[in-house]
Amino acid sequence: MKKSILVTGGAGFIGSHVVRRFVNKYPEYSIFNLDALTYAGNMENLKDIEHKENYTFLHGDITDEVFVNSIFEKYRFDSIIHLAAESHVDRSITDPLAFAKTNILGTMILLNAFKELWKGNWEEKLFYHISTDEVYGSLGENGLFEETTPYDPNSPYSASKASSDHFVRAYGETYGLPFVITNCSNNYGQNQFPEKLIPLFIHNIINNKPLPVYGDGNYTRDWLYVIDHAIAIDLVFHQGILTDTYNIGGFNEWKNIDLVKLLCQQMDEKLGRAIGSSSQLIAYVKDRPGHDLRYAIDASKINKELGWNPTVTFEEGLSKTIDWYLGNKEWLANVTSGNYQNYYKEQYQ
């Protein structure tokens, strides 16, 4: 069936993998990518598909209500996959208002445009909201986040995502807007901006710079390869039950320091450096304020109901990720020039 799908944030890390998958796999769908091209958005991420007939790029901001309404009117999207967001916890600590604006207000503007366009004619329509496991707050040493875990966000980033999740649900309850939400764990893979742990440390190892591990390094995250997330999004988009939430995770918990040691080992091998040389770059630095101790996802619902499972092990995914960064040094050089240098100085010095 033909569909007109708006993907927001499609020039970013996860969004670019979602856009590529949908454009290539569903030539009968029209895929529109709305992106403001902030520091995190990069047209290079979609070079390979930008010429495709079923793909259109729309440069604009989700917080610009007039613009958003105009494109809804013009293209009459029947489905939205909403990924556009400010996505980095550290930046949310320095500039929380930017997160409220994009993540909360931007989501509301999209919800409202969708509501106004279809005015209750909801057949074959879908608003798919991409969220994070961070809305659930922090776990202790044991336990897993389930879909029923109460929201308890701790950072301005997770609070803004939690708020946007609530607005999606509220539009569902109040106006009958058809929605589905997924809450995913930490993603890694190619095209991730080098502010998040894994690409930042790959970049620093290449350049022999210190690896700033926050606090004692005993914080735990569940890691998922970005292409496995895109596969899950495809499944939920087509088969997810309306008004349901699905947790997505890698069944793959790592303490930061153990992950960093594995990364150092793989980097030494790939760069032909003496084993142990990259780990000498590890530098324990001041902790992140409000740092969540542990995230871990129970992804059994999406596994049982939709048959989803990660396709790569962490060791394989990490190896592919490093290979991509080593093979795309120009991409890395471009995104780390200019403003990145100021960001890095302010964050780490």
By CB under 6 A, name the binding residues for ligand TYD. Answer: 89, 186, 196-197, 200, 212-214, 219, 221, 256, 288
Q: In the bound complex, what is the minimum distance in angstroms from residue 106's beta carbon to ligand NAD? A: 5
- For residue 302, give Cα distances in angstroms to 60, 232, 233: 33, 8, 11
Pairing of β 282-285 and β 220-225: unpaired
Distance CA 232, CA 187 (A): 12
| CA nearest neighbour of 332 among 196, 199, 188 | 199
Name the active-site residue from 78, 133, 147, 165.
Answer: 133
Q: In the bound complex, what is the minimum distance in angstroms from residue 332's beta carbon to ligand TYD? A: 16
* Catalytic residue status for 157: yes
Q: Residue 255 corresponds to which tokens in the numbers above?
A: 């303490």
With CB under 5 to 8 Å by kind, the binding choice for 221 among ligand TYD, ligand NAD, none is ligand TYD
Cβ closer to ligand TYD: 104 or 197?
197
Q: In the bound complex, what is the minimum distance in angstroms from residue 189's beta carbon to ligand NAD? A: 9
CB 77 within 8 A of CB 115: no
Q: Which residue is nearest to ligand NAD (CB)?
A: 12
Q: Residue 314 corresponds to which tokens in the numbers above?
A: 């962490």
Cβ neighbours for 300, distance < 8 A, ≥ 6 positions apart:
none
Q: What is the DSSP string of 182-213?
A: EEE-EEESTT--TTSHHHHHHHHHHTT--EEE
With CB under 5 to 8 Å by kind, the binding choice for 297 among ligand TYD, ligand NAD, none is none
Cβ closer to ligand NAD: 59 or 76?
59
**Phi, psi dihedral angles at 328 (to 5 degrees):** -130, 50
Q: Which residues bind ligand NAD (CB under 6 A)?
A: 8-9, 11-15, 35-38, 40-41, 61-63, 83-87, 102, 106, 130, 132, 161, 184, 186-187, 193
Distance CA 4, CA 70 (A): 15
With CB under 5 to 8 Å by kind, the binding choice for 219 among ligand NAD, ligand TYD, none is ligand TYD
Cβ closer to ligand NAD: 30 or 92?
92
Q: In the bound complex, what is the minimum distance in angstroms from residue 213's beta carbon to ligand TYD? A: 5
Residues with catalytic roles: 133-134, 157
